[in-house]
Amino acid sequence: MQRNLNLQIWIFTALIVASGLVVLYSASYQNARVSHQVFYDQLWMAATGFVVMFILSRIDYRKFYDLAYVFYGFCVVLLVFVLMGGRHALGATRWLTFGPISFQPSELAKLGLILALGRYFSDTRPAVRFSLQNIRGVLWRDLFAPLILTLVLMLLIFKQPDLGTSLLFFGIFIAMLFVSYLEYRYILGFLFVCLAAVPFAWGLLKQYQKDRLLVFLNPNIDPLGTGYTIIQSKIAIGSGQIFGKGWLAGTQNQLNFLPERHTDFIFSVIGEEWGVVGTLAVLFFYFMLVFTAIRVAEQVKDKFGVQVTTGIMMILTLQVIINMGMVLGLFPVVGLTLPLISYGRSSFMVFMIMLGILLSISRRRTIF
């Protein structure tokens, strides 16, 4: 059983990565806007990522428990450096550059939050009973203290600005909160308060973020501007029909009608060239990888392993759902990549690191 779950993680990760390489080759094939070098960069990252996965799978994941808060603090420092002197591109300041190396600390912070919350919740013990006398202490310990850990990273990333990634952090927090000891009624009450406060957040958004939300409601209000990408994305996916137009044969892709087709909107290329059959195959690979993570979480013997597995499973699930929904016009455009498929060194490598940790948990899930 143990080997079967480990093997499934390897197989479905490899299938997703391979699918991404095939699509990325097409997205950059004889294309003036997207250099073919991005395919070779991703190929190199894939080879490196599998080596990293193998190494991490051999390391006892409990060692990450000891480093959790230190790594979290390191991520906070990197995010502060980004705001102070990061590289500005595409309307945001999200990158740190050291010589030839450029990366997004916000991607690394995803793992930092998962490990920090994993340690915090695993150290927390349930109250013997709830009463009016101890309810404040319980809510502070089990809800507001870990919420502060989350909000620090969310606010630093929101300032870049990067609304999509900052909201992902809240999703990680809620998922890990549900597998903590806090009673569901308090979690649901907290979610109700958050939903009630959503309308008041409109004034905090940048103008381009407001434009994206308005375009989500009606892409035709700015068909040559903010709404252009989502309109072209829908055309690409719809034209693929059942079996697609064929590899390297997508007109929206090859004729440069589709912007960001190698990053945030790469799922449009899958839909155009592979059709419904291809998109369902990719979705199946993701589903099986997440389902395997759920099976691992069910069998882990210690709280830290359960929490970290839940965090990894949730960030993968949320990012896949939001990216695909964004490309299909079901969600606003928030600038999130499709995990392990979209071009992006930071995002790709961090997900490979997470899956390496997941393998480590799976290998040792029955030991403790």
The dihedral through the CA atoms of 342, 346, 351, 352 has a sign that is: positive
Whether residue 111 contacts residue 354, with contact meaning beta carbons closer than 8 Å, is answered with: yes
Q: Decide if 144 contacts 114 (C-beta within 8 A).
A: no
Residue 368 lies in a domain: no
Cis peptide before 223 (omega within 30 of 0): no
Q: How far apart are CA 108 and CA 346, in angstroms?
A: 8
Q: What's residue 233's pLDDT?
A: 86
Q: Burial level of 322, CB count in 10 A (0-12/13-18/19+)?
A: buried
Residue 245 in domain: yes
Query: What's the pLDDT score for residue 72?
Result: 96
**DSSP structure class, residue 162:** -
Strand-pair partners of 87 = 95
Range of the domain at 257: 2-363
Residue 312: inside a domain, yes or no?
yes
| Residue 111 within a domain | yes
What integer pLDDT is reported at residue 18 of this predicted model? 96
Distance CA 365, CA 344 (A): 31
Q: pLDDT tens string for the chain (368 positions)?
A: 456 899 999 999 999 999 999 999 988 887 667 777 889 999 999 999 999 999 999 999 999 999 999 999 999 999 999 988 877 766 677 878 877 778 899 999 999 999 999 999 998 765 545 555 566 666 778 888 999 999 999 999 988 888 888 889 999 999 999 988 788 888 888 899 888 887 777 766 777 667 767 766 666 676 666 678 888 888 888 888 899 898 888 888 777 777 788 888 899 999 999 999 999 999 999 999 999 999 999 998 889 999 999 999 999 999 999 999 988 888 888 878 999 999 988 999 999 999 999 999 998 876 55
Nearest CA to 332 out of 342, 344, 322 is that of 322
Assigned domain for 292 exists? yes
Helix (H/G/I), strand (E/B), else coil: 96:
strand
pLDDT score for 128: 47
Question: What is the domain count for the chain?
Answer: 1
